Amino acid sequence: MNKRPLYLSLLVAGTAALATSTAAMARVDVDVNFGLPVAPAPVVVAPAPVYVQPQPVYVAPPPPPPVVYRPAPPVVVAPAPAVVIGWHNDRYWDGRRWYDRREYHAWHDHGRGPDHYRGDDRGYYRR
């Protein structure tokens, strides 16, 4: 025996039963009441919020630090140079060190070459 049509018919019948049951509950009601009005229930209302401004707080500033006096540091003044920059007899002072003539011309030849000046016991002269 084929049970497929039986299951199909049960499914269709169940769906129809569910669909008709919700439509069967729809109705219109009319109510008519006679009587005295009931006193309304007491209404409780929360009180309005109250804002209280806080009092200002004064905080005194800290006291100033104590004043400490001390003597001024000593002022040291460098003495004027005893030797003036330049030639002193046969030596040259550049403010840092002394040069003899040969050493001075070796360092300060200004591109003329090391043999530009030559000296003898009479002093230096140009070639």
Handedness of CA 83, 84, 88, 94 (dihedral sign): positive
Q: What is the pLDDT of residue 13?
A: 86
The pLDDT tens digits of the residues spanning 7-22 come to 888 888 888 877 775 5
Flag residues of the chain having pLDDT under 50: 120-123, 125-127
pTM reported for the whole predicted model: 0.23
